[in-house]
Amino acid sequence: MTELLVVRPGALTTVQDRGRPGYAHLGVPRSGALDTAAYALANRLVGNPPDAAALETTLDGVSLRAPAATVVAVTGAPCPVRISGRPVAWGAPVRVPAGAELEVGRAESGLRGYVAVRGGLIVAPVLGSRSTDLLAGLGPPALSAGMLLPVGPAGPDPVPGADAYGLPAAPSELLLPLRLGPRADWFTGASLAGLWRSALRVSPRSNRIGLRTEGGPALVRARAGELPSEGMVLGAVQVPPDGLPVVFLADHPVTGGYPVVGVVPPGPALDSAAQARPGTPVRFVRAR
Amino acid sequence: MRTLVVGGEALLIELDSADEVAALHAELLRRRDAGALGPVRDLVPAARTVLLDGVRDPAALGVLIARWEVPPLTREEGPLVTVAVRYDGPDLAEVARLWGVAPGEVPGIVGATEFRVAFCGFAPGFGYLTGLPERLHVPRRDTPRTAVPAGSLALAGEYAGVYPRSSPGGWQLIGSTDAVLWDADREPAALFAPGVRVRFTEGGRD
């Protein structure tokens, strides 16, 4: 077994796979890679099964040293990639010679990068997943300098040829289809109508739990009182007392006490949300 | 019973009481175990709702469930877990004052109560236990603690709970236990899973 050495952990780099859905009733968030398409692509590029654990970086990349030769691919937020100081391709499988350092640089656009290693990361799984969940404290800790990441044996699939893969660019405006309910009736009709032409932006307080918004106008409650905590789904748009929507991402709590005005369907829209930098305009589009 | 569609693949069922939630949750488990519910990824009870997430046609399922005859829960339904507690919590005297009893009477009152895990949340393995009559409901502390020790038995509102690990918390702490509430390598990982009945006995480390 080979182990990658973390040289520079980056602002927030975590191990992610498809997460641990199915344990919400025990209070366990689903977790998992935020940009599911970029994560899947990184694994495909190195010939891994689609659920192999990879690294998710945040804005400023990561640096790793490989004691044995391996193959890696970097996807998600476009960024410079270097091996032993020499520029190599982003979004394609690249060979890392034994002892070389892989440097994943700062994102040129977007937020989250994915670094897949041939064989996948084989940190100990918890409830069937290797994902780091910072909120629930499950899975491996976030990367720190000097940490060793065990890499599994390569699977039977070959490393595919260096095709050109279509990768969506990070959004200049985040379009989020929203299916109203279950608690849209907690808000005034006028403020709901205003949601479709709001001037909301991505808040810098966003994280893996949720994409927070700022700007406005805020949603206005049509009724007073508190909602008893209820189960939350991925993509739920929760509205705290300040009226500014929060889009729940993979680390969202399993229950919540603020009303959910609607749900953004998991898939491309939430993948884009994972790449939207603070300040990006957010527009909700009515979906059925 | 009110059914609400949540996005494209979830259904939220709203009920009038915690008892109705417990009864419907038990019925859903029975039907799922009998293979009569169809695919559902997560079945999440909460205070007044049950969420079914990862279902094929939430609207159709809602129509179906609304027609069910759900029998009320019997007292003996669900596995029983007994947990030994030391009544050494820093809020024991305050809770006794709110209950209008002496602190020494709290263990007897708690011990005579049959609790049930209504739902989990807040942290993995944190169960919200119902069973306390309304006159024994106590408010949260005005100022939450930044660190509540793991194993603390605590009360707030209609619920009792045991902190599975050290975390911030605003509940009133009346005791502590050595029971392991959460162990990801155990099956089930949570000692207090929804539907489990819980009794607290007075006892300490021996």
CA dihedral B152, B154, B159, B164 (to 10 degrees): -20
On whether residue B74 sits in a domain, the answer given is no
Q: pLDDT, tens digit, for every residue of A162-192? A: 555 556 666 689 999 999 989 999 999 999 9
pLDDT at position A163: 58
pLDDT at position B71: 93
B12 and B101 in a single domain? The answer is no
On whether residue B71 sits in a domain, the answer given is no
B147 and B45 in a single domain? The answer is no
- Number of domains observed in the structure of chain B: 2
Bridge partners of residue A16, in order along the sequence = A54
Q: pLDDT, tens digit, for every residue of B144-174? A: 899 999 999 999 999 999 999 998 899 999 9
Model confidence band, residue B206 (pLDDT cutoffs 50, 70, 90): very low
How far apart, in whole angstroms, are the C-alpha atoms of residue A40 and residue B181?
Answer: 35
Q: pLDDT, tens digit, for every residue of A16-58? A: 999 999 999 999 999 999 999 999 999 999 999 999 999 999 9
B60 and B88 in a single domain? The answer is no
Low-confidence ranges of chain A (pLDDT < 70): 161-171
pLDDT at position A72: 97
Domains of chain A: 2-151 (no CATH), 174-286 (2.40.100.10)
B57 and B93 in a single domain? The answer is no
Q: Do B51 and A28 touch (CB under 8 A)?
A: no
How far apart, in whole angstroms, are the C-alpha atoms of residue A17 and residue A40?
Answer: 9
pLDDT at position A216: 83
Q: Which domain holds residue B43?
A: 2-66
Q: Do B44 and A255 touch (CB under 8 A)?
A: yes
On whether residue B45 sits in a domain, the answer given is yes
| A26 touching B (Cβ < 8 Å) | yes
B55 and B90 in a single domain? The answer is no
B12 and B38 in a single domain? The answer is yes
For residue B10, give how far its alpha carbon lies from the nearest alpha carbon of chain A (Å): 8
CATH at B176: 2.40.100.10
On whether residue B116 sits in a domain, the answer given is yes
pLDDT at position A165: 59
B176 and B116 in a single domain? The answer is yes
In Å, how far from its chain's centre is CA B159?
Answer: 7
| Element housing A37 (H / E) | helix A36-45
On whether residue B75 sits in a domain, the answer given is no
pLDDT at position B122: 86
On whether residue B73 sits in a domain, the answer given is no
| A167 touching B (Cβ < 8 Å) | no
Residue A233: which of B46, B53, B124 has the nearest Cβ? Answer: B53
B57 and B86 in a single domain? The answer is no
B61 and B151 in a single domain? The answer is no
B21 and B84 in a single domain? The answer is no
pLDDT reading at B78 higher than 60: yes
On whether residue B33 sits in a domain, the answer given is yes
How far apart, in whole angstroms, are the C-alpha atoms of residue A138 and residue A245?
Answer: 27
B60 and B89 in a single domain? The answer is no
Q: Do B123 and A231 touch (CB under 8 A)?
A: no
B103 and B193 in a single domain? The answer is yes
User: What is the average per-residue pLDDT within B60-70?
Assistant: 95
On whether residue B167 sits in a domain, the answer given is yes
